[in-house]
């Protein structure tokens, strides 16, 4: 096991967080502390039970069991797991938790669609986020679908969160092939490729200095394009293509 000193995992109880935690565990990585944020009733985007995986033939990529309880996995990657019952990352309790432990780095996995407020961003070390898009080309929402339509590929970028959407410093990024036929894009494929880059990125982290051994660098804000939630017709085109034999 490799312990990531002064690193914490701030995780909303979502499908994506399950993938992250299992990928870290599979890679033998542990963190100092975890704050697991749980909203009652699975009402937030990204929360679900009884996930049907579809085709998970993702080659060499680690494929998690997204029906596995997040709390159980968290206990494998940290001895210090706290649970907060709330439907938002942007609550005073989260800010207080970050300030109390003052980690050098926060692995972040929030609720889908919720923007992180300045109070959380500034409470401790930077928040490391896996964006499902090749930055700066694909900023914004549902970029996995736009990338599929435009390039027949997918990308993930590891960035430090900033107040402006998807404009933070890029630590690493990686392109992935299109998903296999009949794959679940929203839950499985998207979670698997984000978790894969998370593990690769943490392999670049030096706990002693609290820095990464390499970094892509700052973004040029004028570069790239911001995408918005994809129209249902365009989404249907992608899903129809993925589901065709």
Mean pLDDT of the 162-167 span? 94
Distance of alpha carbon 204 from alpha carbon 198, whole angstroms: 10
pLDDT in tens, 83-128: 999 999 999 999 999 999 999 999 999 998 899 999 999 999 999 9
Taking all residues of the chain, what is their mean pLDDT, rounded to a whole number?
A: 94
Ordered structural domains, the chain, with CATH: 2-131+155-217 (3.40.50.12230)
What's the rounded Cα separation, in Å, for the pair 185 and 47?
Answer: 15
Per-residue model confidence (pLDDT) at position 178: 87
Instruction: Evaluate if pTM is beyond 0.85.
Output: yes
Q: What is the pLDDT of residues 16-60, one digit of tens each?
A: 999 999 999 999 999 999 999 998 765 555 555 656 668 889 999
Do 178 and 154 touch, CB atoms closer than 8 A?
yes
Q: Which residues 6+ apart lie within 8 Å of 63 measured at CB? A: 53, 56, 188, 192
Q: Would you state the pLDDT for residue 223?
A: 85
Considering only residues 179 and 205, tell me which one the structure prediction assigns the higher pLDDT: 205
């Amino acid at each position: 096991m490799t312990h990531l000193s002064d690193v914490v995992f701030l995780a909303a109880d979502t499908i994506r967080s399950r993938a992250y935690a299992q990928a870290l565990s599979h890679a033998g990585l542990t963190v100092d502390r975890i704050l697991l944020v749980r909203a009652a009733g699975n009402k937030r985007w990204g929360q679900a039970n009884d996930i049907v995986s579809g085709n998970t033939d993702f080659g060499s990529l680690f494929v998690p069991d997204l029906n596995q309880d997040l709390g159980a996995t968290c206990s494998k990657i940290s001895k210090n797991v706290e649970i907060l019952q709330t439907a938002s990352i942007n609550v005073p309790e989260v800010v207080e938790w970050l300030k109390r432990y003052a980690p050098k780095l926060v692995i972040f996995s929030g609720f889908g669609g919720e923007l992180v407020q300045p109070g959380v961003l500034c409470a401790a070390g930077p928040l490391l986020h896996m964006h499902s898009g090749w930055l700066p080309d694909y900023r914004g929402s549902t970029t996995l679908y736009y990338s599929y339509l435009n390039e027949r590929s997918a990308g993930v970028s590891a960035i430090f969160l900033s107040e402006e959407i998807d404009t933070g410093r890029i630590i690493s990024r990686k392109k992935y092939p299109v998903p296999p036929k009949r794959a679940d894009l929203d839950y499985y494929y998207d979670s698997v490729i984000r978790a894969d880059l998370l593990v690769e990125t943490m392999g670049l982290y030096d706990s002693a200095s609290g820095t990464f051994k390499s970094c892509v660098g700052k973004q040029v804000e004028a570069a790239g394009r911001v995408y918005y939630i994809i129209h249902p017709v365009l989404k249907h085109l992608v899903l129809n293509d993925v589901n065709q034999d």
